[in-house]
């Protein structure tokens, strides 16, 4: 009952001409900025903040939240069309999205991404509305041991991200883990692998690695293989139509990952990027046909796209109920609230119910706007692929550089980008998968820190990892995820042998 | 790690607009500092040695906007971000650039980062121009914590320093850590065995609320809202005098609890080492004039800052003193490089 009246109140806040306009402006700006490789929601919100000054706090947050989920919505576009992730949350989108586009199904891939994003966004807003106050305690229930176990579970999936050689996947992952250790060690303040360069003190930004390994490496391959039709000069983006069978295929992942994404989004340590990877991996693991992942499987596209948008709404739970930023982007939103005179914190719901319920209500509207905006635009956006190859490749390189430079304003990072482009290209030549590297990088850093934080708190006792039920469950799942494939393959081999014997006799 | 900084990113940008929006306020002190002596001949570059976000950035942008809006300096003052290395990248930029038209905003890390061996440049490699604002640390525990006062906590630490885990958002040997170390040392705790957990992804508050750690050493602003909601208890603030204002006035200072210590999270402005004495005097006066304007006061209150003007000389002496204190503390906890 309460929820309904609160929601009505929220819609009352949103459904004024002014606020509807702000939702629209927010999602439009967000989705356009998100489409550009490298420019993520943080930059997008930064651009919008000056506009919000002097605005009513609810309107300001409505606008900026719109930019945020708009950017996550739009971020899939460049992942799919150019293999250049628009934001870190859409790296996993490129795994199957780009192969689809390569096969001349860019239109369909974009449509699936839009629909998954819409579904993930909407389902998670409903969840946000219904359970936000209840989820608040869940958000802080994860401490160092829980995060360690969660990241470990993610890492155990690395073998499943490989095409072919598991050994190569593990080597690639190891390199990712090594890169994650670069910088000042957070727990001791010791410099690791910085070689005395102040530029490396804070480690390497995720985006540099992602754009280098994916976008630049792809560009290199395209330059060398002139026959390839992809990226430019392509006259076929395919139809937007999704067949009944395809709709049925993606309904499962959408349902699953709306929930998973939301839950991971609520956890302050996880967020959209980890959620999208976890969803991709989960979907691949439970798939009957895992070998088709990475080659243009629509489930592999729908899963991360649903998940990253669901996680975006989830990230509003700690923000709105506790005043704790769950991610870099929500931290910026927190700052934006300060500017308009709202002190973010646990009392926001009582002090500023218009902000709380207004933002939630605006997200329903925003998601509808995004779908309506994006679907008709797809044929036009996909025309990017008609741009002559030489021109398009140059554009991709320029955008990657702008994206990287725009984050750090450091030329050093541009050289790093180049270095990772070359590494990515070499890895392709010798058939090393890049996905395990990026996954290990993103999970590894946090896993290490959580592990050591846990041990500091427990005075070095490993028993701390068995104190919490959540940790134990996650650890058991990790062990299963690691061993089950081996057991399975052994069993099936045995079966085959038995069958052979059977036939022979 | 960058979260706390980015939290404020919005502030700065917002404040930019604030100021331009309030364009009507009269300029109060346009020509206070020229008087025929030195004055800038070209636009001034104000460096925030961090990314957009962060206290440095907010401060830099707020100062530059108030300066421009109120015509304190008749040249443009453009803010540039030089993030990296906890400030080291920006400092090295200012050092290389030199001259009379480059300034930067700074705070305790200019002492901590070199002491931790992460920068060759320290406060003595620059020209202190003026101290501007002060903030304080707050030591918080969960609402259901057995500790009700700083002295309860100190007792527990004295009995067994490893029984209490302290979390902070900055690295070991930096602000959040050393503010706490300094306070409990003043209370007579053996600081060598203190347990400090660094949560540079900004998860300190969530660890505290989830009862994963015992104490969270943080900035005043972060603690206030949670305390107002009854989620945490603030055992002590590090201000020399009790604070004024709703909620914050309820926080006991260390001194009120018989611990003779304070910790100021100061922010100020510095220039390159080779800055001329005339230019330094000009900027010092400009900062002073700026802090008199109503526009500044409005901004300051909006961000919850406290004025803490120090002349260049006072600033230099204060920094020398702080550095000495921190160096010996860091040595004692085994973090000095």
Q: What is the full per-residue pLDDT of chain A (505 aa) written as tens digits?
A: 477 888 888 888 888 888 999 999 999 988 888 888 767 777 777 767 666 666 888 898 899 899 999 988 888 888 898 888 878 888 899 999 999 988 888 889 999 999 999 999 999 999 988 888 888 888 888 999 999 999 998 888 776 676 667 788 889 999 999 999 998 888 887 888 988 787 888 889 888 999 999 999 988 888 887 665 555 545 566 677 788 888 888 999 999 999 999 999 998 877 888 899 999 988 988 888 888 888 889 999 999 999 999 999 899 988 888 888 777 788 778 877 776 777 778 888 888 888 889 999 999 999 999 999 888 888 888 888 888 888 888 888 998 898 888 777 788 999 999 999 999 999 999 988 888 999 899 889 889 999 999 999 999 899 999 989 999 999 999 888 888 777 777 777 777 777 777 776 6
**Nearest-CA distance from A464 to chain B in Å?**
11
Q: Looking at the complex, does the CB of residue B285 fall below 8 Å from at least one CB of chain A?
A: no
Any chain B CB within 8 A of the CB of A63?
no
For the record, the structure tokens of B101 come out as 């038209």
This model of the complex carries an ipTM of 0.84
Beta-carbon count within 10 A of A226 CB: 7
Return residues 393-452 of A near B (CB < 8 Å).
Answer: 407-410, 446, 449
Interface test with B, best of A189, A269, A404, A454 (most B CBs within 10 A): A189
* Cα–Cα distance for residue pair B264/A92, rounded to 1 Å: 45
| Spatial distance between the Cα atoms of A316 and A306, rounded to a whole number of angstroms | 16
Q: What is the dihedral of CA B112, B118, B121, B127, to 10 degrees?
A: -30
Probe site for chain A from B5, B7, B162 (most A CB atoms < 10 A): B7
Query: Are A46 and B172 in contact (CB < 8 Å)?
Result: no
In A99-243, DSSP assigns E strands to 183-184, 191-192
CA distance A209 to B331: 37
Neighbours of A460 (CB within 10 A): 9
Contact A453 B225 (CB under 8 A): no
Question: What does DSSP assign to residue A347?
Answer: T
Query: What DSSP string describes B140-197?
Result: EEETT-S--SHHHHHHHHHH-GGG-EEEESS-TTSHHHHHHHHHHHHTT--GGG-EEE
Write out chain B residues lying below 8 Å of A50, CB-based: 13-14, 16-17
- Residues of chain A contacting residue B3, judged by C-beta atoms under 8 Å apart: 325, 327-328, 331
Q: Does B93 touch chain A (CB under 8 A)?
A: no
Q: Are A114 and A374 in contact (CB under 8 A)?
A: yes
**CB-based contact (8 Å) between B156 and chain A?**
no
CA of residue A168 relative to chain centroid, distance:
24
Interface contact flag, A201 B51, Cβ < 8 Å: no
């Amino acid at each position: 009952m309460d929820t309904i009246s609160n929601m009505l109140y929220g819609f009352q806040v949103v459904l004024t001409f002014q606020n509807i306009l702000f939702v629209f402006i927010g999602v439009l700006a967000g989705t356009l900025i998100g489409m550009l490789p490298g420019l993520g929601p943080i930059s997008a919100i930064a651009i919008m903040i000056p506009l919000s000054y002097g605005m009513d706090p609810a309107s300001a947050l409505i606008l900026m939240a719109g930019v945020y989920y708009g950017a996550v919505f739009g971020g899939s576009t460049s992942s799919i069309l150019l293999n250049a992730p628009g934001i870190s949350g859409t790296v996993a989108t490129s795994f199957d999205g780009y192969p689809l586009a390569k096969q001349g199904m860019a239109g369909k891939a974009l449509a699936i991404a839009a629909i998954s994003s819409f579904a993930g966004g909407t389902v998670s807003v409903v969840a946000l509305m219904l359970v936000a106050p209840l989820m608040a305690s869940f958000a802080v229930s994860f401490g160092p041991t829980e995060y360690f176990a969660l990241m470990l579970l993610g890492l155990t999936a690395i073998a499943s991200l490989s095409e072919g050689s598991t050994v190569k996947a593990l080597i690639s992952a190891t390199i990712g883990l090594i890169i994650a250790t670069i910088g000042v060690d957070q727990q001791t303040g010791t410099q690791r692998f910085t070689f005395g360069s102040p530029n490396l003190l804070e480690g390497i930004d995720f985006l540099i690695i992602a754009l280098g390994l994916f976008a630049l490496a792809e560009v290199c391959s395209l330059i060398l293989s002139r026959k390839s039709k992809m990226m430019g000069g392509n006259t076929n983006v395919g139809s937007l139509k999704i067949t009944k069978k395809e709709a049925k295929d993606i309904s499962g992942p959408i349902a699953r990952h709306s929930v998973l994404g939301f839950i991971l989004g609520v956890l302050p340590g996880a967020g959209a990027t980890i959620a999208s990877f976890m969803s991709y991996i989960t979907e691949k693991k439970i798939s009957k046909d895992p070998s088709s992942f990475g080659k243009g499987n629509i489930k592999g596209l729908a899963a991360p796209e649903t998940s990253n948008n669901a996680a975006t709404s989830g990230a509003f739970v700690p923000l709105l109920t506790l005043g704790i930023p769950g991610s870099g982007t929500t931290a910026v939103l927190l700052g934006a609230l300060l500017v308009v005179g709202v002190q973010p914190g646990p009392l926001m719901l009582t002090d500023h119910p218009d902000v709380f319920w207004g933002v939630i209500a605006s997200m329903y509207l925003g998601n509808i706007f995004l779908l309506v905006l994006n679907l008709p635009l797809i044929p036009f956006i996909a025309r990017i692929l008609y741009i002559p190859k030489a021109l398009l490749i140059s554009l991709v390189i320029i955008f990657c550089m702008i994206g990287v430079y725009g984050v750090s304003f450091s030329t050093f990072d541009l050289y790093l980008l180049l270095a990772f482009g070359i590494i990515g290209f070499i890895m392709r030549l010798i058939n090393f998968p890049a996905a395990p590297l990026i996954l290990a990088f993103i999970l590894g850093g946090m896993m290490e820190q959580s592990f050591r934080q846990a041990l500091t708190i427990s005075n070095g006792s490993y028993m701390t990892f068995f104190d919490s039920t959540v940790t134990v469950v996650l650890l058991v799942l990790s062990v299963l995820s690691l061993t089950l494939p081996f057991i399975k393959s052994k069993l099936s081999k045995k079966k085959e042998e038995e069958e052979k014997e059977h036939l022979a006799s | 790690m960058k979260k706390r900084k980015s939290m404020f990113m919005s502030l700065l940008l917002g404040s930019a607009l604030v100021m331009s929006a309030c364009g009507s306020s009269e300029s109060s002190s346009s020509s206070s500092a020229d008087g025929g002596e030195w004055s800038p001949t070209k636009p001034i570059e104000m460096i925030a040695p961090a990314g957009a976000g962060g206290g440095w950035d907010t401060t830099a942008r707020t100062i530059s906007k108030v300066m421009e809006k109120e015509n304190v300096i008749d040249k443009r003052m453009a803010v540039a971000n030089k993030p990296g290395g906890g400030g080291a990248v920006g400092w090295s930029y200012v050092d290389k650039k030199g001259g009379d038209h480059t300034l930067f905003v700074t705070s305790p890390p200019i002492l901590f980062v070199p002491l931790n061996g992460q920068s060759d440049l320290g406060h003595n490699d620059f020209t202190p121009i003026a101290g501007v604002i002060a903030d304080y640390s707050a030591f918080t525990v969960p609402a259901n914590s057995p500790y009700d006062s700083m002295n309860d906590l100190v007792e527990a630490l004295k009995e067994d320093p490893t029984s209490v885990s302290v979390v902070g958002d900055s690295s070991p040997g930096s602000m959040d850590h050393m503010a706490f170390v300094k306070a409990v040392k003043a209370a007579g705790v053996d600081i060598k065995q203190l347990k400090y957990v660094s949560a540079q992804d900004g998860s300190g508050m969530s660890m505290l609320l989830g009862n994963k750690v015992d104490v969270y050493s943080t900035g005043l602003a972060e603690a206030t809202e949670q305390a107002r909601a009854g989620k945490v208890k603030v055992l002590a603030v590090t201000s020399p005098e009790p604070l004024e204002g709703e909620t914050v006035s309820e926080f006991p200072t260390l001194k009120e609890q018989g611990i003779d210590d304070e910790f100021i999270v100061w922010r100020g402005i510095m220039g390159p080492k080779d800055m001329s004495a005339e230019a330094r005097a000009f900027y010092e006066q400009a900062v002073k004039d700026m802090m008199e304007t109503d526009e500044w006061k409005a901004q300051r209150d909006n961000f919850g800052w406290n004025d803490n003007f120090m002349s260049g000389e006072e600033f230099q002496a204060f920094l020398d003193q702080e550095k000495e204190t921190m160096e010996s503390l860091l040595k004692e906890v085994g973090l000095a490089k």
